[in-house]
Amino acid sequence: EPEVTQTPSHQVTQMGQEVILRCVPISNHLYFYWYRQILGQKVEFLVSFYNNEISEKSEIFDDQFSVERPDGSNFTLKIRSTKLEDSAMYFCARGDSSTYEQYFGPGTRLTVT
C-alpha cells in the first residue's frame, strides 16, 4: 500500500508563529504517527494517534504541540509558537492494521527564522 502524503513540502515561518503541518492518508487508516528529524540527527518519535486520541507521546511533544484529525481524513500537527529549534523535517507515518508496519510520508521541511 502507498504511504501518506504531506503538505506543505516546505514551510518557512517566523519564530513565535503558529504552523500546521498536514498528513493526508491515501485511504482510511486508524493509526498515525509524527516524527521529526533535525538536520544531521536521528529520526525522533513525537506522538502516536489512534482512533482520534493520542496513544503515546515523547518528551519532545510538549504543550506547544498538538495533533488532531479535524475532518476525519487529514491528520494535523500544530506547533503553537515556533522556536528556532523546531526547524526540522517532520514525517507523518501511518500504521498498517495487519502487519503493524509504519509507512512514512515524504516529510515537511519546517524552517523557523
Partner 1 sequence: DAKTTQPPSMDCAEGRAANLPCNHSTISGNEYVYWYRQIHSQGPQYIIHGLKNNETNEMASLIITEDRKSSTLILPHATLRDTAVYYCIVRSLSGGYQKVTFGTGTKLQVIP
AA letter at 113: T
In the bound state with partner 1, the residue whose beta carbon lies nearer, of 35 and 75, is 35
Of 3 and 68, the one with the shorter C-beta distance to partner 1 is 3
Minimum distance between the CB of residue 101 and partner 1, rounded to whole angstroms? 5
Please, are residues 113 and 13 in contact by the beta-carbon 8 Å criterion?
yes
Buried b (16+ CB within 10 A) or exposed e, 42-60: eebbbbbbeeeeeeebeee
| Closer residue to partner 1, CB minimum distance, 14 or 99 | 99
Return the closest-CA partner of residue 72 out of 38, 4, 24, 39.
24
Least separation, in Å, of the C-beta of 81 and partner 1? 25
CA distance 107 to 21: 10
Pick between residue 18 and residue 96 the one whose CB is nearest to partner 1. 96
Whole-number minimum distance, CB 14 to partner 1, in Å? 23
List residues binding partner 1 (CB under 8 A): 3, 31, 33, 35, 42-45, 48, 50, 55-56, 58, 89, 91, 93, 95, 100-107, 109
